[in-house]
Amino acid sequence: MVAVAPLLGIGFSSVLTGSMRAAYAPGALLITYPAVVGGLREGQVVVFTPPGETALFAHRIASIQTTAAAPVLTTKGDANPAPDAWRLAASAPRIPVVAASLPQLGSALSWLQSPPVRSVNVALLGLLLTAACVFGILRTPAGQPETP
């Protein structure tokens, strides 16, 4: 199912901070779907990269200003006292909107995506493929062709 999720536009994002408490605690896994920008509503939680940032944020839409170029979103973390300082120009046709959350699974996803764990996984995959090839070579008796 996870392999099909990107084909359907379903996304996954980890909650890293407490800015969205009580709705989403740090470590939660957010499940998103791509919503048409023109259909966004105040109160929805969107996942985006703010201007000047590199990490994804999941914050609630506080207001939507319609402009000729693109809607401009003002966002706010539920636990934050004021709206975010940036304004998000929603120029893409779709933006990820949170559909569901799974507590604590985001921590596992973040751990699996960390560079050391990824390196170990790649090394293990390489060893597994090498072992499978060696096993296949040693299994075939010398001088006898393999039968399909």
Provide the residue-wise pLDDT of the chain in tens; the chain has 148 residues: 444 455 568 898 888 899 999 899 998 999 999 999 999 999 999 999 998 899 899 999 999 999 888 999 999 999 999 999 999 999 899 999 999 998 877 777 777 777 888 898 899 999 999 999 998 888 867 666 666 6
Residues in the chain: 148
Which residues contact residue 18 at a Cβ distance below 8 angstroms, ignoring those fewer than 6 apart? 25, 26, 79
The answer to pTM > 0.95 is no
What one-character DSSP code corresponds to residue 99?
E
**CA gap 126, 106 in Å, rounded:** 27
Can you give the pLDDT at residue 3?
46
Locus of tokens 């509503």: 41
